[in-house]
A and B are shown apart, each in its own frame.
Chain A
């Protein structure tokens, strides 16, 4: 039985912000593209993610600001106690064109982009890539179990730190640290936060943030390194009171009673050894992942989408150099980020 065959210029895998947004952007530029969406088994927890004002300009450029603004609340900055005895106020209000950032509901944003991006194929399974000079091929099993062959001039890896395609093209993940994040949802307790977000150093290898999620709920996230011999202590909420004992603000955000579930996850900075390889191009965290202190997850996704869309457009117009330039640009950014991070962490270590 012969299977169905589909042809597209660009095949994207990964239905996160970067994948969905790229599909939407390409479609609007008249570039034939398709997105493979693997049914999510685990449901994502809502996170209080912040998009800074600079990123809003990118979104406006991509014609996608509405998607993000629709289910967002405006935020006007953040406060931190980091390199100083004082709480430092970072106000968005005085910054560039948008005097605000957005706190978004990621799930709803994804839903709305998905509704606006038309060529999405839901699949159960994706085969390994058959590499070809001109065209890569993958075989997928649709949710009705039909098998489809898809060939595309370019594959886009938008699978986050998994780097599903890039790994098959022998790209390796290079990790720069061992940051772990421990995240806990808590009923709103303690003082009101001026901007709904506050971050402070807890000890020399540990820092934390508190972020308002909604009218009743806050998220406290503690970050430490895998090298911290006590990192397992972070996993249990009952230890948090002691851990936060000396903090200026975080300790007051813990409710007096109750035990709350702590979610642990990796949150290290890492980059793909190759962002471009065998006609595969990485975007979002698949290209480069910052550690959470930079709060750049979504901004990174949006930035790489913008750059990748340009590179892809040129590539399809037979400018082979464009992809290389894209890669170089991202490496340069990552190096700059590492330098900045060194500076920040010097304070802690």
Chain B
């Protein structure tokens, strides 16, 4: 028997909400399943942005590795191990995608990139270049650069770990056998705790929780002024390996090789989880394989539908000219032409096909996007050709005049679209008159397929990959250009040609990251290409016999190291891109980082029955910049006013920006289901009372037991009908601890005590917010004096978190 972990690639998304399975959203396990939900909540009751957690399961597979069913966790012992890292500060600056000058054998990149050098890769140097490998200077052995990799030790959990276990992490990261970071010490600092996430055992499955989304610079005054590269900065993104050990009927299975283990990556929040990226990572992975497909309408519809639905997150896709307009203008008969292969339908298909940009990028002459290095010379003669769809920038953005400045849909999709135009596809039987009617039909195919346990495993992987942006890569939202190369994968094979009979959707694939073996990992974990990395390095690395090919053997941190740091910089800055022509205005990754949104407030306003029908239409068309809540103004590829503000503000405002979610409109004249942005509201019915400060870790100087910190608050009102708890932050979400005992007196009498040392067991156990409602019963509806004492009970060291009393 063979066992494998699914999904084989998982994604978890940062949020500032609690690490708790009741307060997170889970990564979808069936593609399209959530598209039409009208009641999803992406903020907690307290207004925090929920984390998106990923579940992993173990499947029993046949001898060919095809999944059969989930294993019964009650009949075996499962031990999960997760090893993650963040290598961003250790890696290289992002200038552009380094594979753009390379001849590859897969269909994801036009040969023109290689033959005509339409957007050459730009060589890049290291982030944090002042931190050196000492061997470069003298013969000493200490490599300071290794400290730039936040790489906590692997965390192993089993059925006893039914609450989240932190993965930990620090930046800079003290190396093995060192008690402190030498980089931090050189800056007269201590390493910062940068926790990369948490894991929990839940009925045999593993829940992976992401970090809290905290990014900062080691020097607090260093601002993040670049969209992708900021030395001194850290964030809590990570990726790494998920392995398991299963003992069943006396046999132990080690699921730790590339074939059976899984990979997890954390990513920025998806601010429009029900709106799919225009091109997805799944499209690219299909594009790698060079498989061929029998074309039915399920190979065509997704790209049409995704572009159509961008109207909810980008004004250019809502107003006219837009793809939405083209589709909505079709008569009922013309609409049916979309899914009919008849000759009479061809003119409609042809018209639509011609709207799309050819990913081959033969030199055409669309308007150019000005470079950051501005001059006043008008681009005479440029932009003679009409702008094609989609209105989004592409990998070649750095080069004004390059056709690749514009994003083209992946070649595999474009090729199917061409077959469709020519009528070389199977018509869809049925009677559909709207895009959503078609969407619901195809959603049902996925839901039906998920009932098949064998397909359900592969659908999980696909559901993950369909939510990840598949370009343009500059660098992207979650993962970037290396993902479009075959070398990235240990396995990428077609397991089912159809999702359901007659509905292929490019089939279901078994996809495994080419994870390094433990021995390989030991050798290559800290590898880089020296002071500079360029396209030639990547070109050579693609040859598996070349010594540079280690690049494609993934170790923890390798998938996310290419992304911008801090992640908020790119997420907040990549919005609209201003051109000479002011309409339509292209934008970056609107399906995950929206650009223009319909707000929840507008929806409420439209429900006012006194409004004239045309006023409803005005309100409906009044889309607001998504980032308005960060006061960034419009930001884009250019350094116009507001750009820098946007980068900086996003670091702390990311959790307050609106999330676009489906809601039933109940308004005449607009769609029944609308996708509206709702922001994190400041939740007013919560009171946080400061009780005591955080005490840094210091050796005890007095004979225990002694109180090493004390604070008194007078005239504090204890309300009734509220829950009271202790937290280390005013949000009410932070873990609390004292080394050793926390004591709280009310009006001079001890009301609550907690021994975090568990009677001097030698280990201080921080606790999630502690409910103390019952201990305040006698004081309800009165003003009290609260005294807190931090008591050293066991000697050794003393320290504490901050303490707040929260009423909710």
The answer to whether A and B come from one shared complex is: yes
Asked if A187 is an interface residue, CB under 8 A from chain B, the answer is yes
Asked if B774 is an interface residue, CB under 8 A from chain A, the answer is no
Task: Tell me whether A216 and B687 are in contact in the complex, defined as CB-CB below 8 angstroms, given that A185-B783, A187-B719 are known contacts.
Answer: yes
Task: Tell me whether A188 and B717 are in contact in the complex, defined as CB-CB below 8 angstroms, given that A215-B690, A258-B781 are known contacts.
Answer: yes
Asked if B716 is an interface residue, CB under 8 A from chain A, the answer is yes
Proximity string of chain A (158-188) to chain B, C-beta cutoff 8 Å, 1 when within and 0 when not = 0000000000000000000000000001011
Q: In the complex, what distance in Å separates the CA atom of A117 from the CA atom of B807?
A: 39
Interface residues of A in 197-223 (CB under 8 A from B): 213-217
Asked if B347 is an interface residue, CB under 8 A from chain A, the answer is no
- Contact, CB under 8 Å: A46 / B717: no
Q: Could you tell me the distance in whole angstroms from the C-beta of B691 to the nearest C-beta in chain A?
A: 10
Q: In the complex, what distance in Å separates the CA atom of A139 from the CA atom of B527?
A: 83
Asked if B345 is an interface residue, CB under 8 A from chain A, the answer is no
Residue of B nearest to A216 (CB): B717
Asked if B715 is an interface residue, CB under 8 A from chain A, the answer is yes
Asked if A107 is an interface residue, CB under 8 A from chain B, the answer is yes
- Which residues in A have their C-beta under 8 angstroms from that of B689? 214-216
Asked if B346 is an interface residue, CB under 8 A from chain A, the answer is no
Asked if B688 is an interface residue, CB under 8 A from chain A, the answer is yes
Asked if B419 is an interface residue, CB under 8 A from chain A, the answer is no
Task: Tell me whether A215 and B688 are in contact in the complex, defined as CB-CB below 8 angstroms, given that A46-B714, A185-B783 are known contacts.
Answer: yes
- Contact, CB under 8 Å: A214 / B716: yes
Q: In the complex, what distance in Å separates the CA atom of A188 from the CA atom of B722?
A: 15
- Which residues in A have their C-beta under 8 angstroms from that of B714? 46, 107, 214
Q: In the complex, what distance in Å separates the CA atom of A188 from the CA atom of B713?
A: 16
Task: Tell me whether A213 and B688 are in contact in the complex, defined as CB-CB below 8 angstroms, given that A185-B783, A258-B781 are known contacts.
Answer: no
Interface residues of B in 749-808 (CB under 8 A from A): 781, 783, 807
Residue of B nearest to A257 (CB): B781
Q: In the complex, what distance in Å separates the CA atom of A237 from the CA atom of B689?
A: 26
Proximity string of chain B (700-721) to chain A, C-beta cutoff 8 Å, 1 when within and 0 when not = 0000000000000111110100
- Contact, CB under 8 Å: B687 / A217: no
Q: Could you tell me the distance in whole angstroms from the C-beta of B717 to the nearest C-beta in chain A?
A: 4
Q: Could you tell me the distance in whole angstroms from the C-beta of B59 to the nearest C-beta in chain A?
A: 51
Q: In the complex, what distance in Å separates the CA atom of A216 from the CA atom of B715?
A: 8
Residue of A nearest to B805 (CB): A215
- Contact, CB under 8 Å: B716 / A217: yes
Residue of B nearest to A192 (CB): B684
Q: In the complex, what distance in Å separates the CA atom of A188 from the CA atom of B717?
A: 8
Q: Could you tell me the distance in whole angstroms from the C-beta of B324 to the nearest C-beta in chain A?
A: 43
| Interface SS of chain B | strand
Q: Could you tell me the distance in whole angstroms from the C-beta of B579 to the nearest C-beta in chain A?
A: 41
Q: Could you tell me the distance in whole angstroms from the C-beta of B259 to the nearest C-beta in chain A?
A: 56
Q: In the complex, what distance in Å separates the CA atom of A319 from the CA atom of B783?
A: 52
Q: In the complex, what distance in Å separates the CA atom of A217 from the CA atom of B478?
A: 46
- Contact, CB under 8 Å: A214 / B713: yes
Q: In the complex, what distance in Å separates the CA atom of A214 from the CA atom of B714?
A: 9
Interface residues of A in 11-68 (CB under 8 A from B): 45-46
- Which residues in B have their C-beta under 8 angstroms from that of A185? 715, 783
Q: In the complex, what distance in Å separates the CA atom of A185 from the CA atom of B785?
A: 13
- Which residues in A have their C-beta under 8 angstroms from that of B717? 187-188, 216-217
- Which residues in A have their C-beta under 8 angstroms from that of B687? 188, 215-216
Q: In the complex, what distance in Å separates the CA atom of A217 from the CA atom of B715?
A: 7
- Which residues in A have their C-beta under 8 angstroms from that of B713? 214
Q: Could you tell me the distance in whole angstroms from the C-beta of A189 to the nearest C-beta in chain B?
A: 10
- Which residues in B have their C-beta under 8 angstroms from that of A107? 714
Q: In the complex, what distance in Å separates the CA atom of A215 from the CA atom of B713?
A: 10
Q: Could you tell me the distance in whole angstroms from the C-beta of B682 to the nearest C-beta in chain A?
A: 11
Residue of A nearest to B713 (CB): A214
Q: Could you tell me the distance in whole angstroms from the C-beta of A64 to the nearest C-beta in chain B?
A: 22
- Which residues in B have their C-beta under 8 angstroms from that of A214? 689, 713-716
Residue of B nearest to A218 (CB): B717
- Contact, CB under 8 Å: B781 / A46: no
Proximity string of chain B (304-334) to chain A, C-beta cutoff 8 Å, 1 when within and 0 when not = 0000000000000000000000000000000
Q: In the complex, what distance in Å separates the CA atom of A331 from the CA atom of B781?
A: 47
Residue of A nearest to B718 (CB): A216
- Which residues in B have their C-beta under 8 angstroms from that of A45? 715
- Contact, CB under 8 Å: B781 / A216: no
- Which residues in B have their C-beta under 8 angstroms from that of A46? 714-715
Q: Could you tell me the distance in whole angstroms from the C-beta of B165 to the nearest C-beta in chain A?
A: 33
Q: In the complex, what distance in Å separates the CA atom of A219 from the CA atom of B807?
A: 20
Chain B CB count within 10 A is highest, among A45, A46, A107, A215, for A215
- Which residues in A have their C-beta under 8 angstroms from that of B690? 215
Chain A CB count within 10 A is highest, among B688, B781, B783, for B783
Q: In the complex, what distance in Å separates the CA atom of A22 from the CA atom of B687?
A: 39
Q: In the complex, what distance in Å separates the CA atom of A185 from the CA atom of B784?
A: 11
Q: In the complex, what distance in Å separates the CA atom of A45 from the CA atom of B714?
A: 9
Q: Could you tell me the distance in whole angstroms from the C-beta of A263 to the nearest C-beta in chain B?
A: 12
Q: Could you tell me the distance in whole angstroms from the C-beta of B692 to the nearest C-beta in chain A?
A: 14
Q: Could you tell me the distance in whole angstroms from the C-beta of B174 to the nearest C-beta in chain A?
A: 34
Q: In the complex, what distance in Å separates the CA atom of A188 from the CA atom of B715?
A: 12
- Which residues in B have their C-beta under 8 angstroms from that of A187? 717, 719
- Contact, CB under 8 Å: A217 / B783: yes
Residue of B nearest to A46 (CB): B714
Proximity string of chain B (657-687) to chain A, C-beta cutoff 8 Å, 1 when within and 0 when not = 0000000000000000000000000000001
- Which residues in A have their C-beta under 8 angstroms from that of B715? 45-46, 185, 213-214, 217
Proximity string of chain A (216-245) to chain B, C-beta cutoff 8 Å, 1 when within and 0 when not = 110000000000000000000000000000
Proximity string of chain B (453-489) to chain A, C-beta cutoff 8 Å, 1 when within and 0 when not = 0000000000000000000000000000000000000
Residue of A nearest to B730 (CB): A215
Q: In the complex, what distance in Å separates the CA atom of A217 from the CA atom of B687?
A: 11
- Which residues in A have their C-beta under 8 angstroms from that of B716? 214-217
Interface residues of A in 127-154 (CB under 8 A from B): none
Q: In the complex, what distance in Å separates the CA atom of A160 from the CA atom of B209?
A: 61
- Which residues in B have their C-beta under 8 angstroms from that of A258? 781
Residue of B nearest to A261 (CB): B783
Residue of A nearest to B688 (CB): A215
Q: In the complex, what distance in Å separates the CA atom of A258 from the CA atom of B719?
A: 11
- Which residues in A have their C-beta under 8 angstroms from that of B781? 258
Residue of A nearest to B719 (CB): A187
Chain B CB count within 10 A is highest, among A185, A187, A216, for A216
Proximity string of chain B (118-159) to chain A, C-beta cutoff 8 Å, 1 when within and 0 when not = 000000000000000000000000000000000000000000
Q: In the complex, what distance in Å separates the CA atom of A248 from the CA atom of B783?
A: 27
Residue of B nearest to A105 (CB): B714
Residue of B nearest to A260 (CB): B783
Residue of A nearest to B715 (CB): A217
Q: Could you tell me the distance in whole angstroms from the C-beta of B787 to the nearest C-beta in chain A?
A: 13
Q: In the complex, what distance in Å separates the CA atom of A258 from the CA atom of B717?
A: 12
Q: Could you tell me the distance in whole angstroms from the C-beta of B590 to the nearest C-beta in chain A?
A: 36
Q: In the complex, what distance in Å separates the CA atom of A217 from the CA atom of B689?
A: 11
Q: Could you tell me the distance in whole angstroms from the C-beta of B744 to the nearest C-beta in chain A?
A: 15
Q: In the complex, what distance in Å separates the CA atom of A187 from the CA atom of B720?
A: 11
Residue of B nearest to A186 (CB): B717
Q: In the complex, what distance in Å separates the CA atom of A46 from the CA atom of B716?
A: 11
Q: In the complex, what distance in Å separates the CA atom of A213 from the CA atom of B713?
A: 11
Residue of A nearest to B807 (CB): A216
Q: Could you tell me the distance in whole angstroms from the C-beta of B521 to the nearest C-beta in chain A?
A: 50
Q: In the complex, what distance in Å separates the CA atom of A45 from the CA atom of B715?
A: 9
Q: Could you tell me the distance in whole angstroms from the C-beta of B305 to the nearest C-beta in chain A?
A: 46
Q: In the complex, what distance in Å separates the CA atom of A275 from the CA atom of B717?
A: 42
Q: In the complex, what distance in Å separates the CA atom of A15 from the CA atom of B544?
A: 83
Chain A contact residues, CB within 8 Å of chain B: 45-46, 107, 185, 187-188, 213-217, 258
Q: Would you mind naming 21 contact pairs between A and B with Cβ atoms under 8 Å apart?
A: A45-B715, A46-B715, A107-B714, A187-B717, A187-B719, A188-B687, A188-B717, A213-B715, A214-B714, A214-B716, A215-B687, A215-B688, A215-B689, A215-B716, A216-B689, A216-B716, A216-B717, A216-B719, A216-B807, A217-B715, A217-B716
Chain B contact residues, CB within 8 Å of chain A: 687-690, 713-717, 719, 781, 783, 807
Q: What 3 pairs between A and B have smallest CB-CB spacing?
A: A187-B717, A216-B717, A215-B689
Q: A45-B715, A214-B713, A216-B716 are in contact. List 12 more A-B contacts (CB 8 A).
A: A46-B715, A107-B714, A185-B715, A187-B719, A188-B717, A213-B715, A214-B689, A214-B716, A215-B690, A216-B687, A216-B689, A216-B807
